[in-house]
Structure 1
Amino acid sequence: MTVIYDVWHVRPIDDENDTGKHIGFFSSEESAKAAIELLKTKPGFADYPDDFEIYDTRLNLTGWAYGF
């Protein structure tokens, strides 16, 4: 299965809520990390440079295949 890397920037708003910005999908973890390096000094992101998240995701894999 093909693995891609999904990058988000998620920061807390208050004790119960957060806000997220989808950065993009990348073909390698290295590309995902390079995108983070590029963005973490930019306005908005620079205030929360440690709040980036990378999720590895598989293509053509059905989530919740057994229901919930």
Structure 2
Amino acid sequence: MGDRVFLLWHVHHVAEDESGAVKHFEPDGEFSAHEEKGDDVKLLGVYSSRENASARIERAKELDGFCDEPECFHIDEYTLDEDEWTTGFVVV
């Protein structure tokens, strides 16, 4: 298995669901981010461990804007030098 990295994201949510409520999570509990509906997605950094990314979350929660949505951080884990998108795409 290759080296792992951890990308830390924050989303300022504005996208609404069908009822008009701002949507933070999908119905299945998955993290929600809909840039096409106005959500502001920010990459805070790339870290060598989940612990380092989590420590950054705690520091960011003290900052303007981030403190208003303290549950809206998300850590993605990736393997270095591994293809993530392995198929083509079609423009609609």
| TM-score, normalised by the number of residues in structure 2 | 0.67
Pick one of 35, 50, 55 that aligns with 1:29.
Answer: 50
1:55 aligns with 2:76: yes
- 1:18-61 CA deviation, whole Å, 9 max, x = no partner? 11111000000000000000011211101001100000011101
Identity %: 35
Larger radius of gyration, structure 1 or 2?
Answer: 2
Is the counterpart of residue 40 in structure 1 residue 40 in structure 2? no
Deviation at 1:66, TM superposition (A): 3.6
| Shift in alpha-carbon separation, 1:29–1:66, aligned structure 2, 3 A | same
State the match for 1:8 in structure 2. Answer: 9
Q: After the TM superposition, which segments of 4 or more aligned residues of structure 1 sit over 3 Å from their partners? A: none
Q: Give TM-score scaled by structure 1 length.
A: 0.89
Query: Which residue identity is paired with 1:57?
Result: Y
Q: Choose between structure 1 and 2: higher strand proportion.
A: 1
Gaps of 5+ in 1: none
Question: RMSD value over aligned CA atoms?
Answer: 1.3
Gaps of 5+ in 2: 17-36
